Structure 1
Amino acid sequence: MIQVAALGSGSSGNSLLVRSDKTTLLIDCGFTMKETIARLHHLGLAPSDLDAILISHEHGDHMKGVGPMSRKFGLPVWCTHGTYHRARDNRFSSVRLFHAHEPFIIGDMEVDPFPTPHDAAEPCQFVFSVNDVRFANVTDLGACTPHVREKLAGIHGLVVECNYDNEMLRKGPYPPSLQARIRSDYGHLGNDQAGELLQELDHPELQFILLGHLSEQNNSDALALATMQAHVEDRHERISVLAQHCCSQWFDVVCSVAAEALEPA
């Protein structure tokens, strides 16, 4: 089993917990150390429970607390070479550099990174596997490349970016240049793009879909949820929106046999 919870997800800060029986990983840390510790506590964890921090890319909403957390609690940080060298604060307790096409192991969890098109130095996202259970996090990408689709095929749990609604972005306060950057192939996924991706990926063993990285200016929970539900024929209860200013609940990703055992008779 893999358990997943978000400390928060949105344009102001992103951080995700992924844990198995023996390993607990913090994926990105876009909040201050003080706020991160408080949110970990809310989810029943302390910094000492973490085995490592993984960084998807160097933008502040994903990296604000990484350096302080690593130095204060001796946490190793895993990131690509490009992310490490472009990071504003890369004074980590220890660093493990990886290539975005090469899986690696932390504890009992396999981490399979894959490159994503985003306006950062060497961004990536991750598929996490324990035995036959697979969970994927995919945010901060402007387009769903064939390689991204290949990596996400057959996953059992998913966090997917729903950054903006097209009309809200068009009519909102952002200048045309910023709107163009967000819509570009190196920007962010909008609701419609995420819905099309989900429609392609959906299968009976996909147990939950978490919508993340929503813009507070250019999207709403209701719009993101409605768009994604329109692309999924049934089991809408699987879809949840991750909040910016509070933690989510824990979500369990289980193997297909266990999932069938949990189905009501």
Structure 2
Amino acid sequence: MRIACLGSGSKGNSLLVADQSTLLMVDCGFPLAETERRLARLGVEPAAITAILVTHEHSDHISGVGPLARRYNLPVMLSQGSYLADRCGTIRALQIMRSEQPVSFGRLRAFPFSVPHDAREPLQWVFDNGEQRFALVTDLGHPTPFVCEQIGACDVLMLECNHDEQMLRTGRYPPALKRRVGGEYGHLSNAQSAALLDGLDRQRLRMVIAAHLSEENNQPILAQAALAAVLGWQPEEVGVAGQQHGFDWITIGGSDRP
């Protein structure tokens, strides 16, 4: 299994998961031309994408899904709530997904699971090919036992570290936005992500990637240090998915680092 990220943050999110002949895209929050440019950087032809999986209907995750799917006739999979938000427009091949109902693409299985976030029916995803297991969890208001159960026992974890609590508290965001971001249905802070990580089954875990960092209210070194303290690693051993460049292809089970 291989993963790559087009970008991660409030200005756009998109992730690729590949296994044998399967190439899945999770979210697309970039304009069509920018998505094509970022895919080309990763050596990907858009028409080769097997399907687009949507986590939720917020614009930084879904705004580019409709244009990309229509241009290249790609299937789209999303929850009923995200579908009812009507942010994709007309999609020729659309499938409604439900939490804990996996879908198979060859030997690669994608497991959607529900999370607390201020969207209609948000999902996050675990991918398993029978040998490696990769979990993606961003846009999570607070850790829950259910979420921890879903993402435990993974080889690689891509985990939201949206903000540093002190930076959010003293930063330039208006009070209402601070309450939304730091609330029970907003985004995980570095400290919350570290606490979630501390409660996981980490026996198989060999790589952690901090994701969805706020450019306004966080710094990569703060997110890395928070997660590394739980893992007993050096901060630089924790990967970061950036807004501008995401990260290049990583082979799960290989020696690559983001």
Q: Is the 8 A contact 1:26 1:53 kept in 2?
A: yes
Q: Secondary structure at the match of 1:201?
A: coil
How big is each residue's C-alpha offset from its partner over 1:139-165, in whole Å with a ceiling of 9 and x where there is no partner? 001111111000011011111000000
Q: Is the 8 A contact 2:63 2:87 kept in 1?
A: no
The aligned counterpart of 1:44 is: 43
Question: Could you tell me how far apart the structure 2 residues matched to 1:159 and 1:237 are?
Answer: 15
The aligned counterpart of 1:218 is: 217
CA RMSD of aligned residues (A): 1.4
Q: What is the TM-score when the length of structure 1 is the normalising length?
A: 0.92
**CA 1:238 to 1:200, structure 2 compared with 1: closer, same or farther past 3 Å?**
farther
Q: Is the 8 A contact 2:221 2:235 kept in 1?
A: no
More displaced stretch, 200-209 vs 211-220: 200-209
How big is each residue's C-alpha offset from its partner over 1:181-234, in whole Å with a ceiling of 9 and x where there is no partner? 111111000000111112222634212111110011110111111111122213
User: After TM superposition, which residue ranges in structure 1, 4 or more long, deviate above 6 angstroms?
Assistant: none
Question: Could you tell me how far apart the structure 1 residues matched to 2:89 and 2:150 are?
Answer: 28
Question: Could you tell me how far apart the structure 1 residues matched to 2:128 and 2:246 are?
Answer: 23
Q: Is the 8 A contact 2:163 2:190 kept in 1?
A: yes
The aligned counterpart of 2:62 is: 63
How big is each residue's C-alpha offset from its partner over 1:25-56, in whole Å with a ceiling of 9 and x where there is no partner? 00000101111111111011110111000000
Question: Residue 235 of structure 1: CA displacement?
Answer: 6.2
Q: What is the TM-score when the length of structure 2 is the normalising length?
A: 0.95
The aligned counterpart of 2:176 is: 177
Q: Which amino acid in the other structure matches residue 162 of structure 2?
A: N
Question: Could you tell me how far apart the structure 1 residues matched to 2:234 and 2:168 are?
Answer: 29
Q: Is the 8 A contact 1:22 1:108 kept in 2?
A: no
How big is each residue's C-alpha offset from its partner over 1:57-77, in whole Å with a ceiling of 9 and x where there is no partner? 000000111000000100000
Q: Is the 8 A contact 1:42 1:247 kept in 2?
A: no
Q: Which amino acid in the other structure matches residue 15 of structure 1?
A: S
How big is each residue's C-alpha offset from its partner over 1:89-132, in whole Å with a ceiling of 9 and x where there is no partner? 33113101111121111233111100000000000100001013
Which blocks of at least 5 consecutive residues in structure 2 are unaligned? none
Question: Could you tell me how far apart the structure 2 residues matched to 1:215 and 1:45 are?
Answer: 27
Question: Residue 237 of structure 1: CA displacement?
Answer: 5.1
Question: Residue 236 of structure 1: CA displacement?
Answer: 5.1
Question: Could you tell me how far apart the structure 1 residues matched to 2:246 and 2:233 are?
Answer: 27
